[in-house]
Amino acid sequence: MNYHRMFRVKPGDKIDLSKIDPDFTDVFRDKASAGDKIEKYTQELRDLQYRLYAAGKSSLLICLQGLDAAGKDGTIVHVLGAMDPLGTRVCAFKVPSVEEASHDFLWRIEKQVPSKGEVVIFNRSHYEDVLVVRVHKMVSKEVWSERFNFINNFEKELAANGTHILKFYLHISPEEQLKRFEKRLDNPRYQWKISESDYTERDFWKDYMRAYEEALSATSTKDAPWYIIPANHKWFRNLAVSQIVVEKFKSLKMQLPEPQADLDIIRQKYHKAVKEAEEK
């Protein structure tokens, strides 16, 4: 059960998303059967992210992509939310503002990359500029195809400066998407997320699949790999993503830094303070 290998897109792989089962749950029957594993990885995420933050030598960038209702928000809440907010940050990229649109497409992205010791999660990312703009013909093929090179160079530079990158495509079926839209309609807690475009964009499903297939093939590299996560079952999505993030953390072999203060002197002061408090 090595999801790092199972779901990773190897550099240059040709992807056919129609052949990848979004209902896949490996050996697990249901959420209950995977519960212990999910809890284990959740605990490990807390500890490992704390080590990354304390060491302050490298950083982690996690990109979440997927169609509407694929589970980007849920992944952040249930998996990445296990980490300490002090060392993590979430950035959601929506339609570019007037200022953002007046710059190159990576300008707004570059401002949000993680600093040393930080984990940053992108809810949508720079990949919108080779997906949405392609599907809706906002730019020419010459423009969006050249952006693959810009993205690869950008991510290569981040990796060279100590930022580790994981990119997850959350793969759901059109039937599952429709079920999730229906739940939003019935639940007042989520009705604010509904828009007419949720349904009109379904008309472009095949176009989005082709756009994703090409983007995944062109931009999955050794330093910035893509993972295609079967996401019809939210609990399995959480299991797979958390395992992959834990494995990445472990590969960094992080150690807590040595204390900067003289602990013997600190202990002496502590015992002196305790003794004085007792004598009062």
Residue-wise pLDDT for 56-77, tens only, equals: 999 999 999 999 999 999 999 9
Residue showing tokens 């793969």? 171
167/122 Cα distance (integer angstroms): 9
Torsional sign, CA 196, 200, 206, 211: negative
Structure confidence at residue 30 (pLDDT): 96
Does the pLDDT of residue 276 top 80, yes or no? no
Give Cα 193 to chain centroid, integer Å. Answer: 20
6 closest CA partner among 212, 243, 174, 173: 243
198/203 Cα distance (integer angstroms): 10
For residue 229, the SS3 value is strand
90/81 Cα distance (integer angstroms): 10
Does the pLDDT of residue 236 top 90, yes or no? yes
Residue with the larger pLDDT of the pair 185 and 4:
4
Q: Looking at this protein, which amino acid is placed at residue 149?
A: N
Does the pLDDT of residue 105 top 80, yes or no? yes
CB contact set of 92 (below 8 Å; sequence gap of 6+): 122, 123, 124
Q: Looking at this protein, which amino acid is placed at residue 132?
A: V
Element (H, E) at 84: none
Residue with the larger pLDDT of the pair 266 and 109:
109
Structure confidence at residue 258 (pLDDT): 81
238/226 Cα distance (integer angstroms): 16
Per-residue pLDDT tens for 166-224? 999 999 999 999 999 988 888 888 888 777 777 899 999 999 999 999 999 999 999 99
Give the pair of three-digit tokens for residue 2. 């090595």
Per-residue pLDDT tens for 72-85? 999 999 888 889 99
Does the pLDDT of residue 263 top 80, yes or no? no
Give Cα 203 to chain centroid, integer Å. Answer: 26
Structure confidence at residue 190 (pLDDT): 81
22 closest CA partner among 69, 78, 54, 58: 69
Does the pLDDT of residue 261 top 80, yes or no? no
Is there a contact between 44 and 80 (Cβ–Cβ < 8 Å)?
no
218 closest CA partner among 161, 134, 138, 160: 134
Q: Looking at this protein, which amino acid is placed at residue 163?
A: T
179/173 Cα distance (integer angstroms): 10
Give the pair of three-digit tokens for residue 81. 């939310």
Does the pLDDT of residue 6 top 90, yes or no? yes
pLDDT-derived band at 25, boundaries 50, 70, 90: very high
Domains of the chain are 3-279 (3.40.50.300)
Neighbours of 256 (CB within 10 A): 9
Does the pLDDT of residue 274 top 90, yes or no? no
Neighbours of 108 (CB within 10 A): 17
For residues 213-238, average pLDDT: 98
Structure confidence at residue 192 (pLDDT): 81
Mean pLDDT of the chain: 94
157/23 Cα distance (integer angstroms): 36
